[in-house]
């Protein structure tokens, strides 16, 4: 059974960059094996290649995390907005509207319903 996964632009770019960086290393491995006739030198280059791949992967994930923090697309900002809405001094009608607008920012529908029920409960108290 083959599972097809759609790749987004970022994943395709990462695969292209890593593949592009692998070409010189593969060429070096072939040349060293042909010249020296030993896998030992090729093994050292394989170890270096694996270390470089791990470092590149770590750098890419770290840059992605920093980008998400810098652009404000992390969960902490969403939690702060929910906190400001629920425990603010505005009337409940405005709070309901503000919570529904959080759906456009990526808040799941089940959480929107949950917060709306919480507002109803707060309004009863």
The whole-angstrom separation of Cα 79 and Cα 33 is 56
Domain end, chosen from 28, 52, 71, is at: 71
Same domain, 59 and 14: yes
Q: Which domain holds residue 56?
A: 9-71
Same domain, 87 and 115: yes
Same domain, 43 and 14: yes
Report yes or no: 28 and 36 within 8 Å, Cβ to Cβ: no
| Alpha carbon distances (Å) from 65 to 43, 52, 68, 73, 83 | 33, 20, 5, 10, 23
| Alpha carbon distances (Å) from 112 to 3, 82, 94, 106 | 32, 10, 14, 10
pLDDT in tens, 7-55: 667 777 777 877 787 777 777 777 777 777 766 666 777 777 788 878 8
| Number of domains into which the chain is organized | 2
Burial of 61 from C-beta contacts in 10 A (0-12 / 13-18 / 19+): exposed
pLDDT score for 1: 44
């Amino acid at each position: 059974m083959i599972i097809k996964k759609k790749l987004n632009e970022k994943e395709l770019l990462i695969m292209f960059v890593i593949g592009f960086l692998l070409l010189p290393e593969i060429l070096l491995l072939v040349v060293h094996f042909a010249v020296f006739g030993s896998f030992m030198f090729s093994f050292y280059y394989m170890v270096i290649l694996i270390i470089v791949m791990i470092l590149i992967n770590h750098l890419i994930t770290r840059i992605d995390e920093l980008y998400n923090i810098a652009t404000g697309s992390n969960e902490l900002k969403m939690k702060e907005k929910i906190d400001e809405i629920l425990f603010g001094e505005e009337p409940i009608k405005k709070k309901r509207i503000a919570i529904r607008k959080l759906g456009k920012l990526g808040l799941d529908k089940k959480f929107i319903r949950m917060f709306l029920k919480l507002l109803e409960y707060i309004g009863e108290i």
